[in-house]
Every structure is written in structure tokens, then in C-alpha cells.
Chain A
């Protein structure tokens, strides 16, 4: 069932009213709500609208086809199928209500306690939930049938217990994720009691996903209840959809139509609950990037030349704008960004998180996250606008011409493959090396990036090496296919301070040795000072200042740059200023 329930929809919870309205605006949501409303009304008004007494037997109507009196015909005992169908809605909904009531009450309570307090209670609850999930539900309900007695409702209550793990896990995970949010802390500090925090603040966050779960569980309950009644476990005096199917099954060879109506009633009702759940989920996800295609305005690309085609310039970015779909418009995270990178130059792109520096880097690589699009501008690599290239031509540039060193070393190695394989694979694809050649080069590269025991690292899985070693491996991978431009996205941020210095030294040495151009994305002016020839400062998606590193440090023009620089002086460890020529001269 979890496939139908998306667990991370709780964050942007719209108010209750707007949620209901939005669900009703969704055609499927409206149709599903309408069907459910009809079933509820039919159940309530059954004695008024049923044309016949559902238990009255007319001997001539046994397995009879439809006529004016029995609109859907008669069942195996000569009772009106339509009237039984109408009355069957009552016990169906009551059973579903019991299951939902029991499972949501127990599951949500356990989830709130387990998620909020964590610790031992959480361990015990999780263990019980695992145990309950290992039980085949119908088998257990059948086994307890004699103990529970002939009323189907006791069985449904037990089934409710079997379904608590779904509510428990959902609530527990949502609560655990908001437990340390600032507003909860604030409530705690302001002296609100735990129970009050849980009910006022935490429960509000988890409500919309619970609506989805309730809807799904109602559907499951209806199916299981019908199954038990079909097996003859219900009260044979009460008309039920499952019991009607049993009757139809017994007369399958005489009147096969009779199995259609109760089956359709069950399917339609359950489908409405599932579709309602889907509609709620879609509504909650509306603000998140959807698969919908937004049109990109073709805006004139400025052709100011600006030495863009000069042989010395390897990369020329002009008027770049990058956007992500937000509802039905684009949210621009990068705009009007223009800069050049010369051959053998190290360009730093500096800015706070969210300034658009990483998005600029990914736009150059053509690896924007899902939905991300270059809206305007051009990215010329060696004179060719790569944004105009097709997928294959663009992909052919990656690795061989433009390479990438990521920020977080451990998550950027595939945990399932040995490091040696991960190094060899691109070389074999991109450079067409044989297995032996690739192996030899991989070992050589591992030594080159300063790993003390290349063979051991080659044969290791990512989880067996340290973060610093992993970053060296990733640098080895990035340079393995002799790229002309290396894009390093905060390559030292995730590392220990001592390791940071070594990695920077390695990058500087490799750059001067291989003569690559480098774009160094960072928020750290220390790194810039260490390494970069020129610096671009980004703020809110724009470049506010771009200049030679020395000039920028000595005479920053923009207030924002001054502010960033003063931050460095105030709260970072003292770092000797290194003349930018150390890295740039080649």
C-alpha cells in the first residue's frame, strides 16, 4: 500500500479548507468523493430506497433474470439482488469505519509517542509493527474466527490492529522529521507541555498524509471484509456484498451474472477511496516540481562577442538564466550570468548557499537536477554553444572535455562497485582503453593523487576508505580522461581542515601540471585566495562582481563582496594569504 502513499508530502501542509477545495477541483478527486458520498447516502437511506425487503424470499425468483420487480434479478434463494446490494453498503461502510478507527487510533498514538520521544518506546513499537507486518492477515483472522465469534465486526477490529503498522510508521517518520524543527523547539522553550506540543503542533503536520492513509486503509478493509464474508464467516442473516458473491459463486454455473453486481459495487467503492487518496497526494505535491512541461520563451541571445571566440577562451558563458518549474511559472535561480574562462586559468565562483553558483556549474555540465532548464543565454565551450547540442554530443563532452569533482565525496561513489571498477569504466568508455590499459592507468592515477597504497584502494569498496581518500579517488576519476576544463563544486567543504589543505594542494599541482582550466565553486575565500586567478562573486543568482583575485581582495567594489570578505576575517581560522600566481602561472 505504501506505493500509493507518498511519505514526504507532509511538509507543505495547506490549511484544511484549501485542501478539500483543491481535491474537489481535481476531476478524479471530485468523482471519487461523489461516489463515496453516494455510497454513504445509500447506506443511510437503505430502508427508504430499497425496492424490496432484502431478506424476503420469493420462490419463483430463484436465480431469476431481471424484471420490473427485481431490477437486477433474484439470487440463489430468490431474494432481490438490488435491495441486498443497497443494504450491503451499510455493513461494508461500518466494517471499514471500524478498521480505520482502530488502526488509525492505535497507529497514530504509537507513532506520536515513538516519533516524539524516540528511545525505548520507539524500539518496542517498531518491533511490534515488524511482527504484525509478517502476518498473513486473512489466515490470522480465520484462525481467530472461533474465538471472535460470528460477528464480522470483531474480526474487523482485529484486522484494524493488523493494519496499525502503516499508520504507526507514517506518523512516526513524520514526527521524527519535525521533532527538531525550530517551531517545535520554540514551543518547548516557551514552556508548552509535551502533550500540548504533540496535539497542537505535531499532529497538524501529519494530518494530510494521514488522510491518504485513511482512504487506502478503508479500501483494504472493504476488500478483506468482503473476502471473509465470501468465505462464509459473516452473519448469514445480514445482506453483505461478500455474502452475495458467495451466493453468486454457489450458483456460478446457473446464473453467472449474479457475481457481477456485488463485485462491481466493491470495486467501485474501493477504487473511489484509492482515487481520493491519489487526489489528496497530488494536491499536496502540487507545489513540488511536476512532470509538466513549461514553455521556454525563446529570447534573443545577445551576440556581443566579447572575445567569446578568441582561441584563448575555453569557456564563455553569456546571459545565462537557469530556472526550475514552480507551479505554472519558472523560478529563476540563475540570471544574466556572463563570464569567460581562459585556458589554464582558475576561476573562482564565490557566494553564499543559494546564490546560484552550483546551478551555474551544473548548467555548464548539462546536469541540472530534474526540471532544471537553461532558459536563456549561451554556454560556449571552445566556440560551440553546448546548450544547442543534442544529448549524445553533449554527453560526449563530459569526462573527456569537461570534468567534475563533487562536494560530498562519500555519496559520489557508487557503494555497490569497487573503486577500481568505477575508475576503469569511464576510461574504457571514453578513451576506448582495454581492460589491462585502464587498470594500469587507474593504478597510476591513484598513486598520482597521493594515495599511499594504490592497489589496496583499487580493490576497496567505497565504504572501506576515508572521506579524504574518496575525494582523491574522485579527483583521479575526474582527470582520468584528460579534460580541458575541470569544474570543482566545493571540493573541500565536506572534509576535515587538515585534509582540505592537502586536497587544495593536489588540485593546484594537477592544474599546473596538466594545464587544465578550472572553475572552483566555493563559499570559502580562503580557497579562493589559495588557488584562484580570478573570482566571480554571486548573489541571488547574479554575478555582482568579477575581477582578478588580487584586485578583488585588495579593493572590492561591491558592498556585498566587502561584507563577504569581512566575514572571512572575523570568523574563520587565520590563513596566510597566498599570492594567486602560485596556482595560475603556467
Chain B
């Protein structure tokens, strides 16, 4: 199993390195436009040249890359161009905010998708159709529009939840829950029904296996066949669904944080994309991919634990 995990870790590191490299060369090839952007249209050639030199982007791209990489390996992602402080500090402030929302959202989603999916698999009929309808609705409603509707309904009309802002769980857990309920709701509604459909498919697949027929033939109780054997064997497919949904939630956080005025990584991405703060963007892509790699590794670990063939190898 260690061998398996080491291999997955190596794959993840290679993935992270390739994406960071490709991203670096793409975003740092357009720095000239950004410098003009920062200085404004009235900037003189001398101003531009000075800032270019100051930011170190007058050097050859390869030199810049080597420089960035050697610092990044030591945990230093450089300084932001348009904000105060180092990129590492900025990410350290914003990433936990986003992760706290996404983690909460994925946990709620996992529970709902599992319950709905299992219910649909074991007793087809209305719940099955409900999930189908919900998944079309969830797919079709953009999550930011849903977020706006949630604000109109819960914050403006009913006034039960705050429309904007973020409370750190360290200062108040209930305040944190209140501040992330609407954002998390807007994030997961689009995915929960489709995740439930995939859980349903995974359970039905497991129920179609040869060994399930043999279990029936042996007189094993239906309860055990569904809840012990089929569910256990549906775990890997369901975990894969979660890992895909996790990436979708990270992606969706950009828009959702903007709507709910949450000072997280998503809002930071929008802010730095508009002004063109390239070191921050570089840091965001790197840290996001790193998070995805870690989460996938964790899911690989769970899968390995669930699968005796991998666990015992």
C-alpha cells in the first residue's frame, strides 16, 4: 500500500510541477501589458522601464522562472505587485477562509448525496424521479444566480441570515456557520443532485455484480446485501465523485465569494485577475493545484483502505 501511495504522491508532485511551470510561462509572458495597467495610460516609457526593472521582469523568462522556482521550493512565492505583503502571507490569510467554506460544503454534499443516492438506488420511484428533476435544475441554475436569489430571499426578505461577510470559526462558531450557510448552499445545490445520481449509479452497479446474486442465493438478508455488501463496494466510485465535486467547488468559490463579500481565495483571484497581479495569480494556481493534489491523495488513501487488494499489497 505504501508503494501505491508513494506512486500517487509522485504523480501528484509531477502534476503540480508541470502545471506550475506551464502557468508560469503563460502568465509571465504577458507582463508588459500588466505594467502599463498598473501605471495607468499616462505612464511614460521611463516609468514603465523603471517598474519593469523593479519587478525583475526585464530579465529573460528562464531566469525569472529559475528564480521563482528556487524561492517557491523554500515556500517563498515572491511579493505581490499591487497589494501589500508577500504572496505567501496573502495566501495564508485567504486560503483558510475558502477551505473552511469548501470543506463544510463538501461534507454537507457528501451526506446529502449519499442519502439521496442510496434511497434512489434501493427504492426507485418518486425519489429517483425527484433526483433526476433536481439534477437538471441544479445543472441549469448558475450558482451565482442562485446565490443572488438566496440573498434576496433569506437576507433581504426573511432577514434570517447575513447577506455578506465572513466570521472566522476561531472567533465564533455560530457566527461562522451563519456566515457560510448561504454561500455553501449556493455552492452545493448545483452539484448535490448530480452527485446523488452518481452515488445511485455506483450502488446499482454494485448490486448488479455476480457476487450479489450469489449472496441472494445463499439466503443472506436483503438488509445486509444492500447496506453491507453493495454500499461497501460502491465506496470507491462515490469517493471519486467527491474528488470531482471538490474541484468544482473550488472553482465555484471565486464567484460565490464575490457575491457574499467573503475575503477568501476566490475573491482574491478575481481581484488580482482584474488588476493583473501576476505573482499572486501564480501563487493561487500553485496553491489550488497543491490542495487538489493533497485531497486526491487523501481520497486515494481512503480508496486503498477500502480495497483489500491495494491495502494488502
Contact = CB atoms under 8 A, between A and B. Distances in A.
Interface of A: 1-4, 130-131, 133-140, 142-147, 219, 223, 226-227, 230-233, 245, 248-249, 252-253, 256, 259, 262-263, 266-268, 270-271, 274-275, 278, 291, 365, 367, 370, 395-396, 398-400, 402-404, 406, 408, 411-417, 425-426, 429-430, 461, 463-464, 474, 477-478, 480-481
B285 A271 contact: no
Interface string B225-254: 000010011000000000010011011101
A361 B214 CA distance: 13
B217 interface: yes
Contacts of B30: 146-147
A104 B201 CA distance: 26
Given A4-B194, A270-B142, A414-B212, 10 more contacts: A3-B198, A145-B273, A146-B27, A227-B144, A267-B141, A267-B145, A278-B136, A396-B219, A398-B216, A406-B214
Contacts of A478: 217-218
B218 A139 contact: no
B251 A474 contact: no
Contact of A464 (B152, B197, B222, B312): B312
Contacts of B306: 416
A429 B282 CA distance: 59
B118 interface: no
B29 A147 contact: yes
Interface string B284-295: 110011001100
B294 to A, nearest CB: 11
Nearest to B16: A134
B139 A4 contact: yes
B216 A3 contact: no
Contacts of A274: 136, 139-140
A184 to B, nearest CB: 28
Given A3-B135, A147-B30, A248-B148, A426 B18 contact: no
Contacts of A138: 251-252, 254-255, 269
B224 interface: yes
Contact of B148 (A259, A412, A474): A259
A398 B254 contact: no
Contacts of B137: 271
Contacts of B312: 461, 464
A256 B152 contact: yes
Nearest to B233: A416
Contacts of B232: 414, 416-417
B233 to A, nearest CB: 6
A130 B144 CA distance: 27
A146 B278 contact: yes
A138 B216 CA distance: 47
Interface of B: 15, 18-19, 23, 26-27, 29-30, 33-34, 37, 124, 135-137, 139-142, 144-145, 148-149, 151-152, 156, 194-195, 197-198, 201, 208-222, 224, 229, 232-233, 244, 247-248, 250-252, 254-255, 258-259, 266, 269-270, 273-274, 276, 278, 281-282, 284-285, 288-289, 292-293, 296, 306-309, 312
A537 B42 CA distance: 95
Given A399-B219, A425-B220, A477-B218, A230 B255 contact: yes
Nearest to B18: A131
A252 B309 contact: no
Nearest to B278: A146
Given A135-B247, A231-B255, A429 B289 contact: no
Contacts of A404: 214, 217-218
A397 B225 CA distance: 17
A274 B136 CA distance: 7
Nearest to A404: B217
Contacts of A131: 15, 18-19
Contacts of B273: 142-143, 145-146, 231, 233
Contact of A270 (B140, B248, B274): B140
The 5 A-B residue pairs with the shortest CB-CB distance, nearest first, are A399-B219, A136-B251, A404-B217, A271-B140, A263-B145
9 contacts: A138-B255, A143-B27, A146-B30, A146-B33, A147-B27, A231-B254, A412-B210, A417-B229, A464-B312
A230 to B, nearest CB: 5
Contacts of B289: 134-135
A227 B216 contact: no
A474 B214 contact: yes
B1 to A, nearest CB: 13
A136 B250 contact: yes
A533 B189 CA distance: 63
A531 to B, nearest CB: 20
A424 to B, nearest CB: 11
Given A134-B296, A231-B258, A411-B209, A367 B142 contact: no
Contact of A227 (B15, B152, B208, B255): B255
Nearest to B259: A249
B15 to A, nearest CB: 5
B285 A252 contact: no
Given A231-B254, A274-B136, A146 B37 contact: yes
Contacts of A399: 217-220
A416 B307 contact: yes
B219 A139 contact: no
Nearest to A267: B140
Nearest to A230: B144
Contacts of B278: 146
A430 to B, nearest CB: 4
B17 to A, nearest CB: 11
B140 A139 contact: no
Given A249-B259, A415-B308, A146 B276 contact: yes
A62 to B, nearest CB: 20
A470 to B, nearest CB: 11
Contact of B247 (A136, A143, A464): A136
A395 B285 contact: no
A516 to B, nearest CB: 15
Contact of A365 (B33, B144, B217, B224): B217
Contacts of B274: 145, 232-233
B136 A275 contact: yes
A3 B269 contact: no
Given A144-B26, A411-B209, A414-B233, A395 B251 contact: no
Given A416-B233, A429-B221, A245 B145 contact: yes
A66 B209 CA distance: 59
Nearest to B212: A414
Interface centre among A226, A267, A396 (most CB of B within 10 A): A267
Given A142-B254, A142-B273, A461-B312, A3 B292 contact: no
A70 to B, nearest CB: 21
Contacts of B292: 134-136
Given A223-B142, A231-B255, A291 B124 contact: yes
